[in-house]
Amino acid sequence: MSHVSNITDAGRRRRLIGGVVWLGVAVLATVALQLSRASGWWYALLVLPLSAAALGYLQARERT
């Protein structure tokens, strides 16, 4: 089965950059939580930027 891309190279690049940016946000948020000695429940919020990072990367990789 051949793979058909439905986005341009610019779209792939935009999604990949978005994924990297969200990964950076997640890392900075993790450091901030560590430095502020936040309780464990605050770490659950990291699901949002980490999900956005994964989504951007996977969309760029799969060209969707």
Q: What are the per-10-residue average pLDDT scores of the chain (64 residues)?
A: 78 96 98 96 96 96 88
> Per the domain annotation, does 2 fall within a domain?
no
What CA–CA distance (Å, rounded) separates 7 from 27? 28
50 in any annotated domain: yes
Q: Are 60 and 7 in contact, with CB atoms under 8 Å apart?
A: no
Sign of torsion over alpha carbons 22, 26, 52, 9: positive
Distance CA 48, CA 63 (A): 22
DSSP label at residue 16: H
For residue 59, what pLDDT is reported? 94
pLDDT value at residue 2: 67
Residue 55 belongs to some domain of the structure: yes
Is the residue at 3 inside a domain?
no
Domains contained in the chain, number:
1
